[in-house]
Chain A
Amino acid sequence: MASVAGMLHVPYSVPALELLLPVGISFYTFQTLSYTIDIYRGSLKPEPHLGQFALYVAFFPQLVAGPIERASRLLPQLRQSVVFDYARVTSGLQLMLWGLFKKVVVGDRLGVYADAVYNNPDGQSSWTLWVATYAFAFQIYCDFSGYSDLAIGSARVLGYDLMKNFRQPYFSQTITEFWRRWHISLSTWLRDYLYISLGGNRHGTLLTYRNLMLTMLLGGLWHGASWNFVIWGALQGLFLMTSRATLPTRDAIIARLGLPTLWVRLWRSVVTFHLVCLSWVFFRAATLPDAVHILRRAFEFDGALMLNQQTMAHAVLGVAALLLVETAMERYPAAVDRFAAAPTAVRWGALYALLLAVILAGVEDSSQFIYFQF
């Protein structure tokens, strides 16, 4: 209401409750919901041990920002005794280091620029807004997937396996694929407990589209009661519907044109990435009028690019390192195993490089994780 009033230049503010909410409430609400629904559906037996159940709900590595674990995966692990395994512990620590690198070296560095622009969008040039939006796209990926790596890594050190939450989402060729790779624990939760419950794709095209839209709208609202998140969710729903509706036609055109597969894959990845970036504008902008202003201004394509060279040089090097590793993971899934089997000098060299990068290039006064607010 306040956003709409602001756009109409009407001085109106919605009275807020201003309640103090516990950190991570959205995550463990979904986690406990899935437990309850699974028991209702008969796919899970109730946990008789209060301590085990409490540990499932409040398992510290993923308590505040996921991954949203299913009881069927985590509870059986919590019942088993854990013995010290050097290889598992080092593997967990290495994943934590990679997550920390993504968060403080790449994500937070990009965040310095994105925050500076998005917190003061008035008067920014088009190019500055484009670069800030790209910066935010990588910031939120590094921030959130970095946290997930820290959570999965620390759980692994303790002897528990958490689900993978990201699989190189910006390599996706369609929005549908993006949601199979981005915040996987949320998207699969929404699919299993909302989309399929609504009927999924079992009742014809129109109802499938309705279900997609409702699912993504609620996915948006899960992030917070704000018009920005509603529009973000609506855009995701719209993109999913359009992607689904036009895929056969697009495939037919590409087949007729006989374009090389690599070019087609690249083009699709670029388009998908830009659609995601478009929706990030609503996700990141402080208010709805700000988001509208940023989009309108971005497409005027003028003005000089305001850029702090040091920050951007750090960011570009960080993103290059990120893309190098993520591309290796994408194209050669066995790369992680190969790294574990590499000579000590290679492994330690890479770990020292990451550690020194965190000390030398990490943003010292960095903010907390973006998803801690949800």
Chain B
Amino acid sequence: MRNNPLIRTLLFVVVLLTLDQTIGFALRTLYNQTFDGDVAGVVNQALANRNADVIVFGSSRACHHIASPELSKSLNKRVFNAGIDGYSVIYARALQSELLRRGTRAKLFLLQVDGDDLFALGKERLALVTPLAAKNAEVLALLEAWDPYVRVKLLFATYPFNSKVLSILSNWRRPPASDQWVALPPHAGQPLVAKAVETPKDATTRPVNAARVQAIRDFIASARAADIRVFLFSGPRLHTGAPTALTRRGWELLATLAEGEGVTFKPLDQDSHPEFKQATLYRDAFHLDGEGARLFTSLVAQELAKP
């Protein structure tokens, strides 16, 4: 009986599923108690931090560019920066959906979107919000749009914690950092030099990433339904000459979208603020360093203060 290949295979699968359910349950318990670290912590902290008046959403160009302590001081409000490296507006929409589902006191959402983001190709990064899919149908739908097999994968209890184990173990029960903003260090080595940005060959013809545009619309609509103001912004990049045709197309699209939805969109770049032509404000061509971020944050605060 034990040497029957079919029975051995069945037994192997049963033990595997039992192990998966047991380890998955343990990881979910630990995950729910983790509020620090840039993998598990940011999402849980954002969801648990119900006292924040202002929440910042976006990619590395939000999480490193918006100096939350500075913005908090300028606005005299509690600010939480939920931006994360490499994650787009789809992540922002998923996080916002769960935040609204659980309830938030926030009265202002800042959403960072770059012009080029609306034409991005390739797969979205959504791993951080996978643990939320079990209870949030909107998050599950967002995941499913990018991975048609996600429901099958979610049958494994361990799957939502893919790439999070070390972060959970190292940050479990650690008190969250009071300041989520991580200032990037200044550029290292040879001085940074502004270069012309190469315009993609298909800059005028590349189709719009409809999923991202829809995510922005849904973000604004959901915020409006919860009586929360939305401010869309885009940050500077270090380059010579004008922004690429693709970036400009994106800004025009965002401006039209924002106008239609009754919210504000502000591209704060070298054109509007020539001080961002200084290479010394940057960590690299795409990211401001700490000093640059403080300047950028003060400009965002000025924009927010406008009626």
Q: Which residues of A contact B (CB under 8 A)?
A: 86, 120, 122-126, 297, 300, 302-304, 310, 313-314, 348, 351-352, 355-356, 359-365
**Quick check: A356 and B284 within 8 Å, CB to CB?**
no
Please measure, in the bound complex, the distance between the C-alpha atom of A313 and the C-alpha atom of B39, giving whole angstroms.
13
Known pairs A359-B158, A365-B125; A123 contacts B5 (CB<8 A): no
**Quick check: B189 and A302 within 8 Å, CB to CB?**
yes
**Quick check: A124 and B123 within 8 Å, CB to CB?**
no
Q: List chain B residues, Cβ under 8 A from A355.
A: 16
**Quick check: A360 and B189 within 8 Å, CB to CB?**
no
- Of residues 125 through 158 on chain B, the ones whose CB sits less than 8 Å from some CB of chain A are 125, 127, 156, 158
- Contact pattern, B 13-27, Cβ under 8 Å of A = 1, otherwise 0: 001100110010000
Known pairs A123-B283, A302-B189, A365-B127; A360 contacts B162 (CB<8 A): yes
Instruction: Check if B163 is an interface residue, CB within 8 A of chain A.
Output: yes
**Quick check: B189 and A300 within 8 Å, CB to CB?**
yes
Closest B residue to A87 by CB, please name it: B5
Closest B residue to A303 by CB, please name it: B188
Q: List chain B residues, Cβ under 8 A from A297.
A: 189-190
Q: List chain B residues, Cβ under 8 A from A126.
A: 189
Distance in angstroms from A159 CB to nearest chain B CB is 16
Q: List chain B residues, Cβ under 8 A from A356.
A: 19-20, 23, 158
User: In the complex, how many residues of chain B place their beta carbon closer than 8 angstroms to a beta carbon of chain A?
Assistant: 34
Starting from the known contacts A310-B163, A361-B163, 10 additional A-B residue pairs (CB-CB under 8 Å) come to: A122-B192, A297-B189, A297-B190, A313-B166, A356-B19, A356-B23, A360-B158, A361-B162, A362-B163, A364-B127
Partner of A310, one of B19, B159, B166: B166
Q: List chain A residues, Cβ under 8 A from B188.
A: 123-125, 302-304
Distance in angstroms from B289 CB to nearest chain A CB is 10
Partner of B162, one of A122, A300, A351, A362: A362
**Quick check: A310 and B167 within 8 Å, CB to CB?**
yes
**Quick check: B162 and A359 within 8 Å, CB to CB?**
yes
Partner of B284, one of A123, A303, A363: A123
Q: List chain B residues, Cβ under 8 A from A359.
A: 20, 156, 158-159, 162
Please measure, in the bound complex, the distance between the C-alpha atom of A313 and the C-alpha atom of B16, giving whole angstroms.
26
**Quick check: A125 and B189 within 8 Å, CB to CB?**
yes
**Quick check: A361 and B165 within 8 Å, CB to CB?**
yes
Please measure, in the bound complex, the distance between the C-alpha atom of A124 and the C-alpha atom of B287, giving whole angstroms.
13
Closest B residue to A366 by CB, please name it: B123
**Quick check: B162 and A364 within 8 Å, CB to CB?**
yes
- Contact pattern, B 150-182, Cβ under 8 Å of A = 1, otherwise 0: 000000101101110111001000000000000
Please measure, in the bound complex, the distance between the C-alpha atom of A355 and the C-alpha atom of B159, giving whole angstroms.
11
